[in-house]
Every structure is written in C-alpha cells, then in structure tokens.
Structure 1
Amino acid sequence: MEQDRDRGRWQHAVVIGAGFTGLLAARVLARRFARVTLLERDRLAPGTTHRSGLPQGRHPHGLLARGAAVVEELFPGIRAELAGRGAPVFDFGEGFATRLPHAWAPRTAVGIEVQSLDLTALESALRGRVRAEPAVRVRDGFVVEGLQLSADRRRAVAVTGRDRDDPDHTAVRIEADVIVDAAGRASRLPGWLAAAGLPRPEQRRVASPLVYSSRMYELPEDAAPGWLVSFEMTFPPLVRRGGAAVTVGPGHRLVSVIAPAGELPPPRDETALREFAGSLHNPLFAQVMAQGRPVTPVYRCPVGGNRWFRYDRLRRFPDRLLVLGDAFCAYNPVYGQGLTVAALQAELLGRLLARAGEPAGVAARFQRRAARIALFPWLTATAADQGWTTSRPGPLVNWARRFLGRVLLRVPGDPELYTHFARVQNMLASPLVLLRPSLLHRLLRPARSPQGDGPAQ
C-alpha cells in the first residue's frame, strides 16, 4: 500500500483490542492514517456495561497522575467529562488513606491532582470520543485469529479472523499498513510468530497468587467518609493481605479485599467477607461494608502476575507490527501502573508517527523505546512481588526490593520524603530522584517509630 500523498496521510491501520490501550492507540493513529479499524472480540453495548473481555473491570483501577495527563492531552476535556459523571478530582496526598506495610502514609497535600474513577466508565467515555473520529471504524464482535506476513516474513501485512455471529464462520482478511496488538493479556501474538516460523519472544514472569473479591456499596449521605480512595499495600512475605476502596460516583465505593486465593472467604459468605476485611490493618474497608448497602454481587478474579514479552530484543521481528500495553508488558494491577504505562506508550507512538516519513522502521524504534518506559515500573512491581516466590531474584531486582523496603519503612514518619515518593508513585519523577544525597540521607538515617497518621474516618 502506498501513502495517501494528497492528504499527507497513510492509508490503513488496524488495532487489535478496543480496550483502554487500543482506544488510545486508535486516537494517535487517526492523526496519520486515512482509516483506522479497531477490532474487538466483545460486543460493545452502549453505556457503561461491563464486557466479558475485561474481567478485572469490576475491580478497582487507578490512573496515575502522569497517565491522566497523557489521556487529557489526547482527549481534551475528558477529565471534566468524567468528573461530571461523578469521578472526583483531588490532591493525591489529601484524598488517599494509605496503609503501607509498617504504618499509615502521611495525610498531607502533595500538589498532585488525581481522579478516582471506574475503568468501565473511563473506557466508555474514551470509546465515545474515538467513535466520533471520522477516520476510525470500530468493528466489534470480531475475533482475530491470525497474522499474515509478507513472503519474506519481514513485515506484517494483514490479520485474519471472523465475525462471532457469522454461522458460517467465514474467514475475513483485513490488510493494513500498520498493525497494533493492544489485546492485553489475551494477546496471541507469540503463537502467531511461532506459526510463521519466527522465534517467540523471551518471556519474563514474576507470579502473584493474589485474588480480588470486590463489591460495590452505596453509602448514606451522612456516612460519607473523609477520604476518596483507601488502600492497603501487600508486601510479601511481611504483608500477605490488602485491599482497596475507590470512589466511583456520588455515594458509591467499590471495595476490594486482596489475598492469596486460599485465604479469601467464599464470595457468597457476606459475614466471612466482613470478618476478613476487619482482620486487615486498614479498618476503612470494613467500615464501608458495615455502613453501606451492597448494590452488586461479590465478584472474584485473579489479580494476575507480572509478565513481559521482550519483543524489543527479537532480531527477527516483523516491521509494521507494534505491541502496546499488557500485550507487551503486564504488571500486577495492585500497584496501579498498567494504565499509565499504556498511555505513555501510546504517547510515544504518536511522537514517532509524527516524525516518520513512512511506516517502515517505526515498529523497531517503538519497541525499543517502549521497553524503556516499561523498565522502572517492572522493577517496582517485581521487587514487591518477589516475596511470593522462593527463587532468588537477579541482583537488580534484589537491590530494588531492598531499596523499596527502606523507602516504605521511612515514608510514614517523613511527609517531605512522602511527597517525593508520591511523585515517583504517580510516574511524575524517576525512582532515581530518591537517590539524591538529601533524600538518600533521610532514607539511611536511623528510623523513628513509623507510626504515621491514622486513617481519616
């Protein structure tokens, strides 16, 4: 296919997956392509209906400040739109009631604005914007079953699949100048590469046995707590259980308790679930359960561990094929990094496309730089989750775990250190800022009793 020179745009891009990552990818592709086809396995009902391809959509999610800024840049006004639907915007330090492994994080303003939201509502709002793009076509109910390469296997040329509702299972071939895999953890790309006679990417894994049990509660007006998001961090083997409670609308809190599967009570045992919540260091989850009215069943879902397919290290990787988000590097979602990493990768793709004279060569540049974006979040997540395994970590992960443990010990009693840590958490600053001499001194000095402030009721 040739570039559409009359409009200075290329002809056709295909995106596999119409979730958060795919929607952002479609947005940036629409700036350079005359047509963008967004392929989604699920049928996409209007509104904020949960879809089967997003089982974790019924559980708490977070969009860090850096990721929210990227989304706002790509979709101007989206924060205000979500706020109008009941997703509050607030200072991270003031609105979060966070129980760290040793004590409570300080409750103090840190100058970082964040928004508490529901992932399904976020996707619905983004999808509405993307559908309004003249260049974009959303083709839902379409199952992508294969990838086709050129005869020399050097570039991707098409995807194959079928419509779910077609009783004849008619095979469909869709050609494209660029193909983006944004299918998340369900990506089948390693198998497609192997079927084409190409090497599979190296896969790095750090498992997590954690499972969510989540339920939505409606609180009476006179019981509104003094926090908008509450969190209890797991840090195995010291802290094996945790939880999160997120404001997703007026008077509504989505509460999730988290533990290894064998330690969670059965989903239908409300009494046991409340007792479990009451056993945590953070009492706020149990308070919401006691004061609120449950408005959904209890949903359970494996958290999912950490998995990184090193496409960036493949010497033989097809050109014009790009992998974003969880399909490339998926994190334990307890740490809230995945959406922001995906947003940063979409932003990177937009920059590379804007500078490129043709689609050729963009894929290799993208995968290398996307790996740089993934690295620090990977070290943070795997450093924490290394406590679930008896295997010995590599020297870099071992150092990161020890350093993270030191930070978590010191933060509760040091509001200034917490402000810097909050910037790192929200990916507004590199973790390397904590190695500055002034902050390193604070980390290495003898620790006071790490009490921190108690939770706001």
Structure 2
Amino acid sequence: MKERAGHGRAEHAADRQRPPEVSHGSWGHAVVIGAGFTGLLTARVLAGRFDRVTVLERDELPSGPAHRSGLPQARHPHGLLARGALIVEDLFPGVRAELAAQGAPVFDFGAGFATRLPYGWAPRRSVGIEVQSFDLTDLEAVLRARVRALPGVRVRDGFVVEGLHLSADRRRTVGVTGHHRADPGHEPVRIEADLVVDAAGRRSRLPGWLAAAGLPAPRRLEVPSPLVYSSRMYELTDGQAPDWLVAFEMTLPPSVDRGGAAITVDGTRRLISLVAPAEELPPPRDDEALQRFAATLRSPHFAEVMARGRPVSPVYRCVVGGNHWLRYDRLRGCPDRLLVVGDAFCAFNPVYGQGLTVAALQARLLARLLATADGPSGLAHRFQRRAARIALVPWLTATAADGGWSSEPTGRPARMIRGFLDVVLRRLPDEPELYARFARVQNMVVSPAVLLRPLLARPGRRGRRAARTRLSGPSRDR
C-alpha cells in the first residue's frame, strides 16, 4: 500500500523485503494456532520456508466475509495504520485494490479524517499518507482466500487446540494436541510440528499449557481501561455522503472520558462505535438513549449518521480490554520452537488502533529471521526478544495514556509521556505542519522523536503555557 509524497519510503524500504518464496532445505511442518489477521500473516511468511504449514482455528470459518464467535471485536471499527498496510500489501500484493473493488475507500489520512481532538479539531488537509477503511471481516476474508491458495498451506477450522506436545526433556515443542469440534467424543488428536506459533490473540491459553507441563508462566503486565464499545452499522439511503470518510473523537483520561469512531465500510454503510466507561454508556437496546449519548459528544458526525441512517445491524457491546503484555521475551525455560505473536504476546487498548500494525511488523520481523536462519532451532528466542522491541513504544504510549484512568500514582516515565502528549495535543489544532508530523507518528511511519524538534524550536506562547501546565486535561464542552 503506497504512501504519497515519498513519506516513509526511505525509512521503511525493508518493509518491502518479501519472505522467501521457495524453501531452502526441508524445514518440515509449522503449525499456527489461530486464523485471524495475525495468524494469516504468520502463515504467509512461514510458507516461504516450511514444506507444510497448518493453520488451526477453533471456529468454523465462513467462505466469505462473515462474523464468527471467536472474533467478537470484528463488529467494531478497526484500523490498519499506513506502516502496517505497506507490509500487508507487500505480503499479499493487490489486497488494497481488491478491497477497494468491494467499496473500501482509499484516501489521504489528513483529508479524509474528521478528528475531534481534546483541544479542538485536527486540521483537514492532505498529509501525504494514504490509508484505507474497511470492515475487518472483509479484510480477513481476502487474506484467508490468499493463504488457502498458497502451496503447502492448510487451514483446518473447527479444531480446538488443548495443549502443547513437548519433547521428553520439555526443552522443545514438537507439536500440539487437540480435538475436532465436530467429533462428539472429542477424541484427542496429536499434530506433530517442527515449529508452533501461538496467534490465538487475547484468548490464548498458552500460559496454562506451560503450567500444565510444569514450566514457568510468563510475567503478565497489565494496564486496564474502563472503556466499553457500543457499535452499530448504519446505511445512508438519502444519497448525501458526509464530507469525511472516518470520523474520530479522541478520549483523554481522566477528563475526556467518552468518544467514538465512525468508519466508511463502502459507499453507503458507516460503522459507528461509541466509547465510554461502562457506567456512562446506555444499554445497547435503548436507541433513544444511545442517540442522546451521541449528541453529547463534541463531534456532531456520530449523531448525524444515527439520525439520517437506517440501522442494518443490532447494537453490539464489547469491553475494550485494556493493555496486557506477557513477557515471553524474558521467560526462562520456555521450550524452543515456540513463538508467540500478536495479541497473544502483547495486546493494546484497541482505541489507539495499533494492534494490526504491530502484528504486521512482527510478521515482517519473522520473515527477516527466516531468511537468515539455518533451521527452526533457536528461532523462538531471537524472535521474542526482537518482537519485544517492536512492542515497546506502542506499549509505552498506550499504557501512559491509559494510566490516566487510574487514581493510583503512576511512575515518572508515564507522567512524562502524558505531559508530552498533552503539550502536543494543545498545539495540533493551530499548527498544520505539526499535525502532519503527528499523523506520521500515529501511522507508525516515523518515530515519536520527530515531534521534539518543532516543540523545542518554536514553542510559542500557547506552547510555553501548555508546557508549564500539568496534565489536567480539557473540560467537557457539552
């Protein structure tokens, strides 16, 4: 997925390094647990090195775009940042065009987003970064069809993985055990493997499997969030399309505790998600209360679509889930030939839209390691250490922001990050060039360090005042 005006081309040329297409020697059989976005990207990368790749999914997978019980968050808006989109397009050439042919629009991030920041509206002008909005079920259906077509790859749905199969000394993973959901007796099945990858997401059961084998479990870091989603699909039938393709209202704890997102799925449908602490969000079946809630937001776009549009789905409510990091990268005694990727490793508050892109970066990392490795032995340790480096900055930014929900004292690094973010957010509405930099940081095209120079060089009266202000947040203007 290309970026305009050359943004990110020099920084991320490595994103275009595709995984090897032909196996170099017999690497045997790789098993991937989970056929979601992360599992599909992982299978694509492994297919370049392993003779066989089996993707195991507990859900019965649909033949096309459809929701499934194991992925309830798919009913809520998702975003693939520009950096992640570049990697996905390289792994699966033509995916952007295929989704666009189904109605998923491609647009400039700055011009297409109507973003209500805590201190005002983000500038509406081109920032040179192309993005695409879509329904997650559409994206996964396209990727799933591509993966199924790869030589040597098999996607087995309706299979429940129940544990690991380890070597006698428990130092190496040699497969998984499980059963077919359609088997009434749940007859145990063992699948031998030369590499096992856990891409089961937040529902990963790996810590329990390790404990059952008498092995230590990883340390779990957790920063919760009180937010919940209420989401619904609307169809606009009056022929008057809004002047935006994505509407977004940002939360900023503790003062701005409600927000929302609305994404264009195709020419007529908009998926709206309202976000707030559970005690503030109205019940899903109370349409009038939900519309009154939408009217309290600073952005008028959510209420407008709800008033003009025709609901074409029920209201689905989901707990956001907060942030957690299982430190497999620091786990001693973890068996070799076992990789953990995506949300099974480090999961972020979905409000910040980082999860899909971090998973794509991990797939690219795995492709690089596979290209230089002599075999699967030792791969897991190298991967987890480097995957932790990928997760670090998104983790720090997400958890520092979410730390504002807690009344407990937070550490100095988190307070510094929140203070820095507050200074930036105060200036964004009035400084388009700074917002263009911020948009590149948001899309993980560049490091957050690019924001330092304009802040230090031209703080301005408003910026100096913001820098002296402790993180108090804006007041509600409802």
Q: Shorter-normalised TM-score: what interval?
A: over 0.9
**Which residue is 1:246 aligned to?**
263
Provide the C-alpha distance between the structure 2 equivalents of 1:442 and 1:84, rounded to a whole number of angstroms. 44
Which position in structure 2 is the counterpart of 1:455? none
Partner SS for 2:190: strand
Q: Offset of 1:448 from its aligned partner?
A: 9.5
- 1:273-326: CA deviation from partner (whole Å, max 9, x where unpaired): 100000011110000001111111111111110000011011222111000000
Whether the 8 Å contact between 1:215 and 1:299 is mirrored in structure 2 is yes
Residue identity opposite 2:457 in structure 1: H
SS in 1 for 2:336: coil
SS for the counterpart of 2:160 is strand
* Inter-CA distance 250–6: structure 2 relative to 1 (3 Å threshold): closer
1:146-205 deviations in Å (ceiling 9; x for gaps):
012212221111110000010111000011010000000000111111112221111111
Do residues 100 (structure 1) and 117 (structure 2) align? yes
Any idea what SS the aligned residue of 2:457 has? helix
Hey, what does 2:395 align to over in structure 1? Answer: 378
Per-residue CA deviations over 1:90-126 (Å, capped at 9, x if unaligned) read 0000000001111111111000000011111100000
- SS of the aligned residue for 1:446 comes to helix
Q: Deviations over 1:351-404 (max 9, x none)?
A: 101110111111111001000000111111111111111222222222111111
**Separation of aligned partners in 2, 1:448 and 1:54:** 45
- 1:222 aligns to what SS in structure 2? coil
Match of 1:313 in 2: 330
**1:304 aligns with one of 290, 304, 321:** 321
CA separation of 1:260 and 1:333: change in aligned 2, threshold 3 A: same
Q: Distance in 1 between the 2:341 and 2:49 partners?
A: 18
Residue 233 of structure 2 is aligned to residue 216 of structure 1: yes
SS at match of 2:265: strand
Q: Secondary structure at the match of 2:120?
A: coil
**Corresponding residue number in structure 2 for 1:113:** 130
Match of 1:145 among 150, 153, 162: 162
Quick check: 1:12 aligned with 2:12? Answer: no
Q: Which residue of 2 aligns with 1:441?
A: 457
Counterpart pick for 1:260 among 262, 277, 283: 277
TM-score (norm 1): 0.95
1:400 to 417, 421, 439: 417
Residue 156 (structure 1) aligned with residue 173 (structure 2): yes
Contact 1:246 1:254 in 2 (8 A): yes
Which residue does the alignment assign to 1:340?
357
Counterparts of residues 35-74 of structure 1 (less than 5 Å): 35-74=52-91
Where 2:29 maps in the other structure, the secondary structure is: strand
Structure 2 unpaired stretches of 5+: 1-21, 467-478
Q: 1:221 to 1:442 in 2, by over 3 A?
A: farther
Closer/same/farther in 2, CA of residues 6 and 59 from structure 1, 3 Å limit: closer
Identity of aligned residues (%): 71
CA deviation after TM superposition for structure 1 residue 440, in Å: 2.8
Cα distance in 1, alignment partners of residues 191 and 172 from structure 2: 15
Looking at structure 2, the residues matched to 300 and 442 of structure 1 have their Cα atoms a distance apart, in angstroms, of 44
**One-letter identity of the residue aligned with 1:233:** M
Q: 1:394 to 1:148 in 2, by over 3 A?
A: farther
Structure 1 CA distance, aligned partners of 2:401 and 2:188? 45
Q: Verify the 8 A CA contact 2:77 2:263 in the aligned structure 1.
A: yes
Residues 245 and 285, structure 1, Cα contact 8 Å, conserved in 2: yes
Give the alignment partner of residue 175 of structure 1, picking from 192, 198, 201. Answer: 192
Q: Measure, in 2, the Cα distance between the counterparts of 1:25 and 1:282.
A: 38
Normalized against structure 2, the TM-score is what? Answer: 0.91
- Assess, with a 3 A threshold, how the Cα gap between structure 1 residues 318 and 6 changes in structure 2: closer, same or farther: closer
In the alignment of these two chains, the number of paired residues is 445
State the 1:222 CA deviation: 3.0
The answer for unaligned runs of 5 or more in structure 1 is 451-457
1:294 aligned residue: 311
For the residues of structure 2 that align with 1:443 and 1:11, how far apart are their CA atoms? Answer: 58
Which residue number in structure 1 is paired with residue 340 of structure 2?
Answer: 323
Deviation of 1:238 after TM superposition, in Å, equals 1.3
Q: Give the secondary-structure state (helix, strand or coil) at the position aligned to 2:80.
A: coil
Matched, 1:87 2:104: yes
What is the letter of the counterpart of residue 456 of structure 2?
A: L
